[in-house]
Amino acid sequence: MATDVWGVLVEAQRLPWSFTPFGHVGPLKFGMTHDQVQAAVHGALSVAVSQGTSGSAGWAEFWLERRTDARFSGPAVTTYYDESIGLAGIAINALRGPQVTLEGMRLVGQTPSRLENEFTDYLVAHSRELRYSQRADPCSPQLGLVLRAQRAGDVVLSRPVMVAKAWADRCWDTSEGHIPTQEWTTFEW
């Protein structure tokens, strides 16, 4: 299989995950504990390579298993926890994360402008609201989904962030929403 020089997995190399708003992202269910998340991804993703806490919230990064090519080294999935609800946010790395689909719409590693058009059409067809973050990321609080962008060398690819219902209100708001500042500043230009 051909690979990208910047370490971007081709579609066939990505784990296939689906997204049910406020329910699950692949094997991860909103509300899980960190230990339950580790058990759910065991075998597909490594245990948390890095993790930390900030106030009553925590985070962890999971890497792909069995990758010998250094271009694919790094986090595939970042999970965010809320002390009161458990797993509350899931961000998928654009370069090496699983391919997450919402009713057939591929959310990971896509050209942001094309995905934004497809996302907008989807929201209109389902009578859902479109919002934008202060960083111009399209978002739907009714789905708990923010479509962020991530650099891959000289290109930009989509990095979705999916949140639990308790975090959906103001999920587009980079200053007053529940998504941790760490997520908003991870791939700043």
Looking at residues 174-182, what average pLDDT do you find? Answer: 91
Res 22 pLDDT > 80: yes
Residue 61's nearest CA partner among 183, 143, 160 is 183
pLDDT digits 0-9 by tens, 70-117: 556 678 899 999 999 999 999 999 998 999 999 999 999 999 999 999
Taking alpha carbons only, the member of 81, 125, 82, 79 closest to residue 102 is 125
Residues in the chain: 189
Give SS3 for 71.
helix
* pTM above threshold 0.95: no
Tokens of 44: 């597909």
What is the structure's pLDDT at 140? 98
Instruction: Give the model's confidence band at 7: pLDDT under 50 very low, under 70 low, under 90 confident, else very high.
Output: confident
Mean pLDDT for all residues in the chain: 87
pLDDT of residue 4: 45
Structure tokens at 63: 């890497």
Closest CA to 69 of 20, 132, 13: 13
